Amino acid sequence: MSKKNEASYISLLDLQRVMQRVLKRSGLPVWHTLGFNPHIYMTFACPLSLGQESECECVDVKTEAEAPDFEQWKAALNAIMPAGIVITHVGPVQMKADLIAYACYRITYPAAAAAALDAYNALESAPVEKHGKKGNKIIELKDYIPQVEYTTEGDSLHIDLCMPAAQELNLNPSLLTGFLEEKFGLPAVSANILRKKFLTADKRCLSDRSVKDRLLGKTENFLAFILVRTLAFTQVL
């Protein structure tokens, strides 16, 4: 699923509500939990930060259908999705979320940001404070982003980088944009952050067939949705 434009400002909880409402409206045969308050079983892999866009949002849903028509599901959901959210793929679950080790991003700045990036590259150390549920800790950005390589295209500047996204360590690219603002005055709001793909520990893309074939095999009656979610001042989920 892709999540872009205005949709980038939809939080994880609101995105869950969106998916539940869309699935209910679609009339598709989704499985509900048992008990006093049944609800649609749904899980998200690596929730995206508010205000960031993505081309690889992943949602797992359990279905009651024995042999679901994946293209029918995709068409039925996209027909009623809110602006900015697009289902790009529906298929059986092939792997678990804990196989994700890295997330790859494209950060787009105005071309004038080059001076701040060059200044970052000249630094020997770039400590930042990472906030977490278990407290705050200092992270050395240079251990994960020794140099920021960028390309210019007209009035824009693009940075492509991969950062840890595993359960034991998950680093957000906003750590870099925040540091550049604090240290060099480069406004973080001028950065458009787009998540492009997930990688396994051996740096292979989770969407590669060679990776899928050697991993866990599908989980019966579970479907995986790939969504695109885009960020920015003018984009929507």
DSSP letter for each residue of 107-175: EEEEGGGHHHHHHHHH-S--EEEEEETTEEEEEEGGGT-SS--EEEETTEEEEEEEEEBSSS-B--THH
Range of lowest pLDDT (42-56, 61-75, 146-160, 212-226): 212-226
75 and 125 in one domain? no
Q: Does 29 lie in the same domain as 110?
A: no
**Residue 128 burial (10 A CB sphere; 0-12, 13-18, 19+):** middle
Residue 18 lies in a domain: yes
Q: Of 186, 183, 163, 165, which Cα lies nearest the Cα of 173? A: 163
Residue 176 lies in a domain: yes
Rounded CA Rg of the chain: 19
Q: Is 136 part of any domain?
A: yes
Same domain, yes or no: 132 and 176: yes
- Residues 6 or more apart from 57 whose CB is under 8 A from it? 1, 2, 3, 44, 48, 226, 227, 228, 229
Contact 105, 161 (CB under 8 A): yes
The verdict on 75 and 141 lying in the same domain is no
Q: Which range marks the domain in which residue 65 is found? A: 2-93+218-229
Tell me, yes or no, whether 46 and 14 share the same domain.
yes
pTM of the predicted model as reported, rounded to 2 decimal places: 0.80
Indicate whether 117 and 32 sit together in one domain.
no
What CATH number has the domain bearing residue 225? 3.30.980
Examine residue 206 and state whether it is found in any structural domain, yes or no. Answer: no
- The tally of domains found in the chain comes to 2
**Is residue 75 one of the residues assigned to a domain?**
yes
In a shared domain, residues 80 and 137 = no
Q: Which residue has the higher pLDDT, 37 or 183?
A: 183
Mean pLDDT, residues 191-206: 86
Q: Kindly state the average pLDDT of the residues 146-161.
A: 95
Average pLDDT of the segment spanning 31-39: 86
**What is the chain's mean pLDDT, rounded?**
82
Residue 211 counted as domain residue: no
Determine contact, residues 188/177, Cβ cutoff 8 Å: yes
Q: Are 43 and 97 in contact (CB under 8 A)?
A: yes
Q: 128 lies in a domain?
A: yes
pLDDT exceeds 50 at position 225: yes
Higher pLDDT, 237 or 62: 62
What tokens were used for 145?
Answer: 């982003």
Taking residues 78-87, what's their average pLDDT?
A: 88
Say whether both 116 and 189 belong to one domain: yes
The pLDDT assigned to 230 comes to 38
CB 103, CB 53: distance < 8 Å = no
69 and 109 fall within a common domain? no
HSE (CB half, 13 Å, CA atoms) of 215?
22
Quick one: 11 and 33 in the same domain? yes
Residues 110 and 86 in one domain: no
Are both 38 and 108 inside the same structural domain? Answer: no
